[in-house]
Amino acid sequence: MLLELVFLAVLSPAVAVADPNIQLDMMVAKEIVVEENGQEVTRWVEAQDIEPGQKLRYTVQYVNMGDESATDVRIENPIPELTVYVSDSASGEGSTIVFSADGGARFDPADQVTYEVAVFGGGTDRRRASPERFTNIRWLIDEVPAGTSGQVSFEVLVQ
């Protein structure tokens, strides 16, 4: 039962969007290596089962179902539990991508993400976060015209 719950937690992260006319659909694929014509080739297949060390790609497809352009669209996804973000793997054409290392309280570009730590003697200090510490990803899209679609994605390694 625990393995099944872990599997579901890794494959089913929550996604939030800031516009009610934007419909989202998430897919999760795992990276496999197959042999073709004597050479190893990397392929992405539906992630029906996972193991530690595997790389997963989360792809969120979005479509504007409304009659007007959606502006200032925000798509947000937590990094699933028991995984770590793969550096520089987030993508989304026409989007600005920002990250959080504190559960989504604060977002910044990847090279400016920080987190807070307690320091000896009281108080706190902010430190630069490596991609492995990222907890959330947010894509900011200026405009999604009515009836159009796109996708955003990121990759993680399963712990």
Q: How far apart are the first and last CA of the chain?
A: 18
Tokens of 127: 């430190």
Strand pairing report for 70-78 and 136-144: antiparallel
Q: The domain spanning residue 140 has which CATH number?
A: 2.60.40
Q: At residue 91, what are phi and psi to the nearest 5 degrees?
A: -145, 160
Q: Among 36, 74, 83, which Cα is nearest to 55's?
A: 83
In this prediction, residue 1 carries a pLDDT of 32
Domain holding 73, by residue range, is 2-158
Q: Among 93, 110, 108, which Cα is nearest to 152's?
A: 93
Domain count, the chain: 1
pTM score, whole prediction: 0.86
pLDDT in tens, 44-58: 999 988 899 999 999
pLDDT in tens, 71-94: 999 999 999 999 999 999 999 999
H or E segment at 3? helix 2-11
